[in-house]
Structure formats: structure tokens, C-alpha cells
Structure 1
Amino acid sequence: MLTINFHDFPLNDGDLVLDLGCGEGRHVINAYLHGDVTAIGVDLNHRDLLTSRERFLPFAQASGNKQFYLQQADATQLPFADHSIDKIICSEVLEHIPDYQGVLAEIERILKPGGLLAITVPRAWPEKICWWLSSEYHQVEGGHIRIFNGSHLRREIEQRPFNFYKRHWAHALHSPFWWLKCLWWKTQDTNPLIKSYHRLLVWDLMKKPWLTQTLEKWLNPIMGKSVVMYFRKENS
């Protein structure tokens, strides 16, 4: 399930692409599949990196110029040289990190002038409903520690040498799913309604039927769970 749209975030052959906070690998693996790029996934969670590696193995190619790497690292202290990365994805990460400004500073440091940055965070009003329905939702270890106002975050990023060029929303069908999970947090694993909704989301992901794909496209501007923003770093 991709949050970034690679049509809005084009990759070129030879690009060094970093998925910062890659989790279980959805974006870094798809970046690898998009062209002859070097795709690097970084995360602090070693278990997620192992899962990412397992998910990548069926797609590994022995030919071509593709390369794939995973690295355990702190997003506020990245092991990359200044101006060394062509494209950076930071999807659903900043809401977890106390020093998110430190992460933005590291992104600014390592991204090449003219390079592209894609950032996604949970949209404010669907996220507020989750927090209202369940305190456990945002109090679990590694959970969300803040709710971002997308426009405010955009302005913060634009105060750095980044130019905004596009915004969209994603995963509208997932907003009610998370509201249901929060409403029945303690019994979510056995709740029949939540289990049925999950099967619907899996069916939508695997089959991509016209009905649900079109419905989500229409609903994303209204209730998309994530806001997705794209920036280009200014040339020095």
C-alpha cells in the first residue's frame, strides 16, 4: 500500500533514493522496482528491517544496475555525507519522533541541491478522531506523539531551502477502519466488524477493483488519512 505517488515523485536511472523510516519496506522496495536506482531503507527498528528484507527477497534481481540496502540508524543522525542523496521519502515518520525538526535538518543536509523530498503525515482531523476514541492509540510504545497541521508543516519545511510543488491525500478507506479499531481498541483482534473491514481492505489492495479504487479517489480530498507533500530542494 503506497502513500507516495511515483508519478509525482519521478525516479531517474542512477538515482540514490533514501526511504527514511522505511518500516517494513513498502516504499523502498517499490523505489527499487521503479528503475535502475540504488534504494536504501533506513529505520531504527531492527525487526522492521528484517521484515523489509524478507519482503524484498522475491524481487531481488541479479542483473542491471539496481541496488538495495537496509541500514539501522537514527533519523536525527544519519550515516550519509552532505548532499549525497538524490531523492528522499519520509512517509508516516515525523509524527513518531520527538525531535522532528532534527530529522528535517538531516534531510536538508544530505539531500542534493535540486533533489526531491516526499513527506507524508497523518491528516489532522481523522487523526484527532482516533485520539478522541482511544488514548491507547497514541500511548502505545512507538505510537504517534503529535498531530500535525499539514499547512503548518508545509510552511515549516518551506522555511528551509525547499520549494513545495504538489500535495494530495491518500487512504480514505483506511480512516473508518482506524476509527473502528480505536472505538473497540481492546477487542479489535476479535471484533467481527473490524475483521470484515480488514478483509475488504486486503481485497482492495490485492485486486484493485474499479469500485473501491474510484471511491477512494473521490473520498481522498475529503477524508484521506494521510496528507502527502512534495518538495524540491533549492539549487545552491
Structure 2
Amino acid sequence: MAKFISYLKTKSFRNNFIAAISTVFALLMIAFFSLRYYTKHGQGLDVPSLKGLSYGQAISKLDELGLRYAVDSVYVMDKPPGIVIDQDPDAGTFVKDNRTIYLTINTELAPNVTFPEIEFKSLREVQPMLEGFGLKIGDTTYKSDVSRDVVLSASFGGQVIKAGQSLPKGSRIDLVLGDGRGSEEVDIPALIGLTVDEARFSLKGAMLSLGTITYEGEITDSASATIVMQVPLLSDSLTKVKIGTPINIVLSNKKN
């Protein structure tokens, strides 16, 4: 042990120790600078902002910067087709040359969805249901019915639709709802002697609808033709009908 301690105090040990430390330091420096060179430390660029650009504009910008890209597509309502709606990495991220940028493009063709069962459900229940299927509520009209704000029927493009039918995502669905007043009755208006326009105005005020229109004799001027018969007819035995009841009329140009 005494000899080893004596050796540690010799000039030869000090020289060997310094040489070993220098060798290790040199190796570390070589490894450090080699790694910097291999990874091009400090060389790269910031990812550009691509959201909102068209597909062509985004690709041109990436090509100019020497960046690769991969494309996926989704359908987002109320977004123009063909634009970039998402990117990864985000704009401003520092990346190496030749890095792949992932783009999400809004597709032009809306996927189809299956129309859900909504008849006889409340409007409050139907609204989130349609939104969950990617559909929107269009026009709502009311029809005489004992149920209030309950869906009686649905239509798309003027055609009645039923549960299970396929529709493009984002379609607007028109609904007919019950007004909750189906059991109420109103007075039958007297329409005889009125024109069609006057009858429509009168029926609307009475919350009734115009039914079938038939003609008596030769009609030379339909605008001035007057009603000579209505069904149901106001009489002593019948003075009221349910809200929404259609009133059929007969028109004639003959003067009474």
C-alpha cells in the first residue's frame, strides 16, 4: 500500500493521469461536434401557417421550403371545400429540412348519414339528435295537433323523409310540428260571395286552411270569380270546426 501511495506522488503517474484526462476530453469533443454536424444543429426553419389556404397554395409553399407533406381529408360543415383546416406541426414550430408536414383538407363531397327516427319526439329532443348526425334544422311549420312542438313529419328538398334514409351530411331538414291546439274549435267563416284571395285571408285569420277548389260553369276571370258554395257550410247545426280544418270551395263567374 505504501508503494502505491508513493507511485501516486511520482511524475510518471501525473503525466499518465493528465494524458488520460486529455484523451477522454478529446473524445467527448469529437463526439459532440460530430453529432452537431450529423444532425445539422441549428439548421432548419419555422413551419409556415397553412390553415385557411387552398390545397394548391399550401403545397406550393411547402415545396418552396423543401418540406415534405402528407394529406388526409375530413368533411366539416360551413367550411369551404379544398382548404387546409388543420396542420401538424403547428405554424411557427422549428423543424429540420425535409420534415413531413401533415395536412388535413376539407373534402368537397359530403359523406352520407342515416336519418334518425325523430317522429313524435319533441323539438328539444330532436335538435341535438340531428346535430349529432351532422344535420341541421331548416324551416319549421306548425300543424293543428294536440301535441305541442312535437315532430309530425320531416322533409328534405320538398320530399318527406323517413328514418333509415341516407342524406348528405350538413343537409337542412324541414320539420312540421304540432301546435298543441288540435282539439280546439273555431267558428266557421262565411265565404260565399268572396274571391279566393279574400277567402284565404279570412281562413288564415280563423286558423283554418283552404281545401280543394272546384269551378262551376265557364270561368273567364279566376281573380274575380266568387265563391258560390263552401264545405263545410256554416249553418244552424254546424257553427264550429277544429283548428286547421280545410274548407272546400266552389268558384263561379256567375252573378248571384
Select the structure of larger CA radius of gyration: 2
Same topology, TM > 0.5:
no
Of Structure 1 and Structure 2, which has the larger fraction of its residues in strand?
2
Q: Name the TM-score, length of structure 2 as normaliser.
A: 0.19
- Give the structure, 1 or 2, with the largest relative contact order (CA under 8 Å, sep 6 or more): 1
